[in-house]
Amino acid sequence: MSDRIYDPVIEEQVKSFPLIDVANAQESRDKITKFKQRLLDQGFERPTDNRVEEIEQMISGPDGAPDIPIRIYMPKDRSKLGPGFVNFHGGGFFMGDLESEHARCLIMSTKAGAVSVGIDYRLAPEHPFPAGVEDCYAGLKWVSENATDLKIDSDRIAVGGGSAGGNLSAAVALMARDRGGPTIAFQLLIYPVIDDRCDTPSMKSEPDHYVWTWQNSIDMWTHYIGHDRSTVSPYASPSRADNLSGLPPAYVMTAEHDPLRDEAILYAMRLMAAGVPTELQNFPGTVHGFDFLTASDVSTRAINEGVDAFKRAFL
């Protein structure tokens, strides 16, 4: 690596991460699956909490599309309507499932008091844009339409996710604004993939990042939207949106040594310029996906600050 300074705990952990060739989607999926199994074999335990009931079910997809698997995280002591958190997982649009951000959903239910709902959208390249984001929008609509049964206040629904999930959250916020609903009260954008052009300083000048690289981004976007970038929808690449006014308040979290850092910072600044209440936090010494590395103090702080931002949104 270069002379960049990393949090020592994070750097030690990411050294064991597998290098993936994103151009080969299935090979990348297989590598990550094997890596997760190795962690389980080494004693890693899936987080659980007996205060939260996990409920899996299928909901209707967009017109003509397959049903969508979802997972509801219901606090067992929920006695009245409260905030809801609709999560879209990361994975570069081509990997991931309901387990990918299980920990985030569980934390939002235990620490923020939300009913969390994870949406298992269709993946590229088998299902390129707009399949995934339309599934996410359908998931948001279902949560809003069934809010009372879910013990959610329909005026207090947030969307959020990490990486590609941050993209999908920002895109769904644009779709909800443009389509007249459902109401989104807050967007939690965690080191989001936000711009298909991949030409920011952090993306172009630092090729030797841990976890994620410029080439990974190029290949990821090709899976999702193809090679033709002459006309790219803002619902695919939110930075392409000309108008960011009227969007819900946002919390944007970035990692210092993440090639995606600058595009997220620029998006946050554009939100602010458009009059959208926006909080931006950049965590020093960190890498893409660092908040899952819970042995690090900075990761714990990042998780807690995201929870606090969510709670402040509903004061």
Residues catalogued as catalytic? 163, 258, 288
b vs e for 185-212, b when ≥16 Cβ sit within 10 Å of the residue's Cβ? bbbbbbbbbbbbebebebbeebeebbbb
Reported as half-sphere exposure (CB side, CA atoms, 13 A), residue 175 has a value of: 22
* Strand-pair category, 152-162 with 250-255: unpaired
**304 CB neighbour count, 10 Å cutoff:** 12
Rounded CA-CA distance 155/157 in Å is 6
Supply 18's token pair. 């597998």
Rounded CA-CA distance 91/98 in Å is 11
The residue assigned the tokens 């994070």 is 10
